[in-house]
Structure 1
Amino acid sequence: MRTQSPPAITQTKVLRRVTVTALAAALLAGTAVTAPGMAAADSSAATPKAATGQQDRPELQKATQAFVDAGFAGVQVRVHDKQGEWAGSAGVRKLGQSAKPPTNGSFWAGSIIKPVTATVVLQLVAEGKIRLDAPVAGYLPKLGLDRRITVRMLLQHTSGLFNYTGDFDPDGTYVPGISAAGKAWLDNRFRSYRPEELVRLALSKPARFEPGTDQKYTNTNYTLTLLLIEKATGRSYAEEVQRRILRPLKMRGTMVAGNRTQLPGPHAHGYYRYEEDGQEKVVDISRQNLSLLAGAGDLISTTQDLTTFISALNGGKLLPAKLLAEMRKPHPKMGYGLGLFVQDLGPDCGTVYQHNGSPPHGYGAFMHSSPDGSKTLTVSVTWVDEATRGPAKNYQKLVDRLVKEVFCGRQTAD
């Protein structure tokens, strides 16, 4: 079947009404910009470049460029397969400037920290310090948890706990939590939160369902898992991640963000656009505090480090085979195992193990791996977010196209 590229929505159309000079100057000053739109990207900056010493991969360049054509600000892509390693970027690092995103720049990786958290727990299971099917209340008695909730249920999102960033009742009524969206989040994006504070807020709300009877993706599960790791080891969560994963794998560009608000080294910028007093404003949100998502979304990383992690995990270097198999056993509702999504791409492509991530606004990331870790795809995307999600509404379609290109050798039809 003949395939087509997504309709090109050029940066000039999406970011159409502000002069480059005024916007760039305001963003460099770190201020909100009163603007009806944003500056167009330099078209010469939108062509990906293969990693040094690697052959040109036009099919990967095209799939990478598609993100920019659809209105995203910038994208970094890294592929490792039998042809070697390819890294490219497209779009712009910062609005109003022509420089492309670095091919291995740092970014807010969001929920990609969940498989990291799950891996640490399963290592503790292997060491006999935690039992996978034991009640979490036995380890953390002061929280007053339902004793039916097990460690496995936290990792698999089957605990039924309320999501502290807001959740829905069975009848569809929205129950607010700590705001992680819109202007309310923007105004509080540098606030620090303690993990126990987040968990106690969640526990103050009624459960969404009986433990083990359903599956619902909930950040509370992984923030609670952070507290479990600290209780079982007597060390901080960040120390355990560093000691068990980052240092052994030499993932020097990765860290648990904690209360850190600044991305280290070269990085692309994400933005949020909103309307106030009849005027559009654009804010650079590359600085933010992700303690709001402790253990569940507060990761800083690079495409190279995510490649290293997902390859090592699926290559059997981090967990015993039996526990890796448990991790990759999907619940039928969401296809989610213990910190990993299991995705069947069809008979011609096989199965991939993956996780995506996005802090509240402006950044997105995803990593995919073949079962043996020999073929991987890691990506970071930046955009100008807004109440309607801006170009992010096309995100999954573009992800699917790139995943198919890497793991099937072909693009998906539009």
Structure 2
Amino acid sequence: MGALLSPTAARAAPEHAAVRQAMDEAVERGVPGVTAQVRDAHGRWDGTAGVADITTGRPRGADERYRIGSITKSFVATVMLQLEAEGKLGLDDTVERWLPGAVRGHGHDGRRVTLRQLLDHTSGIRNYLEDPVVQKRLTTKEFLDHRYETWPRERLLAAALNGPPDFAPGTGWHYSNTNYLLAGLVVERATGHPYAEEIDRRIIKRLGLRSTSLPGTDSRLPGPGARAYTRFGGGAGDTMYDITEFNPSWAGAAGEMISTSADLNRFITALLGGELLPPRQLKEMKTTVSAENEFPGERHGPGLIRKRLSCGTVVWGHDGGLHGSLSQVAATEDGRHSIAFNFNTDRAGDVGAVLDAEFCGRR
């Protein structure tokens, strides 16, 4: 493993011994490579472990772009809250108000679901990834034959509504990508622009995130970047497939974005530091509901996850996983200590161990 230190962070290197060890152990347990950046009171620390390419043995780099998956949700939710601050929508508006007739069928009713319930996953709307046809196409080897296929949002929404809701709105919690597919549509209806343009204008350009993008239907991963790998069966003995290129339209507003550890740290620091939202909206983002039924130790707010680590430390951020990539960004509540990192596989490693190592200082 190698570590790249900024001048101001050189003296901080010993303090990151635990996270260096956690990254090395992730590689020992089957992750091809890890790239990470920490920002704290000592400055910046960049660390890597393992390889970017299992064929050539090229090591992972500190400045690599990678697919951030559901961390995209934090960007979408931030835009929604900015629109609320501007008086263009309200989180207690119904989905029906913004998308008339869009959420109907098999017990789903957009007249009973609020925008807030979309953003904190209390809507009860079925996850389109749980539709058997969509699931088979996206999560088995069948995906290899369809990796460049464009998935219209209407098709994904129809798949979600092709079964009953998980629960009545506001009476439970279940992670559903459909919530953010709909949130992206609401942003477009409220602004008259694609949600990608709003994220680009309101966040990416504003913060100078030069390596962050929304690819739409573009299957390419801009360089510099690592190859991304998956085992569709999930077992250590299964074939490792290079899945670096694919059309991410099936993820859309729920998970299409590409970024780097440096850009993600800049984003989470700006968000928690109040650069992107007024105090009222930031407070709403930190208003959480329990996700213990699926993710022990977690509470979810609109686009933001509150995690209590093994040592009791609380961090805020989001994680993201999709074909060939597991990513995480997390920070203390004031944003002054943050980490962003990526595994270039979705089928090995423990991102929680890396978080614990950085914020708790032990394995």
Matches within 5 A, 1:158-197: 158-166=122-130, 175-178=132-135, 179-197=137-155
Q: Give the TM-score of the pair, scaled to structure 2.
A: 0.89
8 Å Cα contact 2:124/2:174 also seen in 1: yes
Which residue identity lines up with residue 177 of structure 1 in the other structure?
V
Which residue identity lines up with residue 328 of structure 2 in the other structure?
F
8 Å Cα contact 1:229/1:237 also seen in 2: yes
* Alignment partners' CA distance in 2, 1:159 and 1:84: 41
The verdict on how the C-alpha distance between 1:209 and 1:176 changes in structure 2, with shifts beyond 3 A counting, is farther
- Aligned-residue Cα RMSD (Å) equals 1.9
The size of the alignment, in residue pairs, is: 343
* Alignment partners' CA distance in 2, 1:70 and 1:324: 38
Q: Which residue of 1 aligns with 2:352?
A: 400
SS in 2 for 1:165: helix
Paired residue for 1:235, among 193, 196, 199? 193
The verdict on how the C-alpha distance between 1:59 and 1:208 changes in structure 2, with shifts beyond 3 A counting, is closer
Per-residue deviation, 1:273: 4.1
Residues 342-368 of structure 1 show CA distances to partners (whole Å, capped at 9, x for unaligned) of: 11236x653211211011x22110010
* Alignment partners' CA distance in 2, 1:144 and 1:291: 20
Query: Does 1:50 find its partner at 2:4?
Result: yes
Paired residue for 1:371, among 319, 326, 333? 333
Paired residue for 2:97, among 125, 138, 158? 138
The verdict on how the C-alpha distance between 1:402 and 1:217 changes in structure 2, with shifts beyond 3 A counting, is same
Per-residue deviation, 1:109: 0.7
Which residue identity lines up with residue 124 of structure 1 in the other structure?
L
Query: Does 1:83 find its partner at 2:47?
Result: no
Q: Which residue of 1 aligns with 2:320?
A: 357
Residues 149-205 of structure 1 show CA distances to partners (whole Å, capped at 9, x for unaligned) of: 0000000111111111115xxxxxxx5535321212222111111223312321232
Matches within 5 A, 1:144-155: 144-145=103-104, 146=109, 147-155=111-119
Per-residue deviation, 1:340: 1.1
Q: Which residue of 1 aligns with 2:22?
A: 63
8 Å Cα contact 2:139/2:232 also seen in 1: no
Which residue identity lines up with residue 404 of structure 1 in the other structure?
D
Which residue identity lines up with residue 260 of structure 1 in the other structure?
D
* Alignment partners' CA distance in 1, 2:225 and 2:258: 11
Per-residue deviation, 1:142: 3.7
The verdict on how the C-alpha distance between 1:143 and 1:51 changes in structure 2, with shifts beyond 3 A counting, is same
The verdict on how the C-alpha distance between 1:70 and 1:209 changes in structure 2, with shifts beyond 3 A counting, is same
8 Å Cα contact 2:6/2:44 also seen in 1: no
8 Å Cα contact 2:327/2:342 also seen in 1: yes
Q: Which residue of 2 aligns with 1:322?
A: 280
Matches within 5 A, 1:16-35: none
The verdict on how the C-alpha distance between 1:315 and 1:176 changes in structure 2, with shifts beyond 3 A counting, is same
SS in 1 for 2:333: coil
Q: Which residue of 1 aligns with 2:75?
A: 116
Q: Which residue of 1 aligns with 2:362?
A: 411
Q: Which residue of 1 aligns with 2:303?
A: 339
8 Å Cα contact 1:349/1:407 also seen in 2: no
Q: Which residue of 1 aligns with 2:205?
A: 247
Matches within 5 A, 1:192-341: 192-273=150-231, 281-334=239-292, 335-341=299-305
Gaps spanning 5+ residues in structure 2: where? 293-298
The verdict on how the C-alpha distance between 1:97 and 1:52 changes in structure 2, with shifts beyond 3 A counting, is farther
The verdict on how the C-alpha distance between 1:144 and 1:114 changes in structure 2, with shifts beyond 3 A counting, is closer
SS in 1 for 2:289: coil
8 Å Cα contact 2:125/2:179 also seen in 1: yes
Q: Extract structure 1 runs of 4+ deviating beyond 4 A.
A: 279-282
Residues 14-40 of structure 1 show CA distances to partners (whole Å, capped at 9, x for unaligned) of: xxxxxxxxxxxxxxxxxxxxxxxxxxx
The verdict on how the C-alpha distance between 1:77 and 1:209 changes in structure 2, with shifts beyond 3 A counting, is same
Q: Which residue of 2 aligns with 1:42?
A: none
* Alignment partners' CA distance in 1, 2:305 and 2:359: 16
Which residue identity lines up with residue 411 of structure 1 in the other structure?
R
Residues 128-156 of structure 1 show CA distances to partners (whole Å, capped at 9, x for unaligned) of: 11111111101111414410100000001
Identity of aligned residues (%): 37
Gaps spanning 5+ residues in structure 1: where? 1-46, 168-174
Higher relative contact order (CA 8 A, sep 6+): 2
8 Å Cα contact 1:196/1:227 also seen in 2: no
Q: Give the TM-score of the pair, scaled to structure 1.
A: 0.79
SS in 1 for 2:44: strand
The verdict on how the C-alpha distance between 1:248 and 1:411 changes in structure 2, with shifts beyond 3 A counting, is same
* Alignment partners' CA distance in 1, 2:68 and 2:150: 18
Per-residue deviation, 1:298: 0.4
* Alignment partners' CA distance in 2, 1:197 and 1:241: 23
Per-residue deviation, 1:70: 1.5
Per-residue deviation, 1:285: 0.8
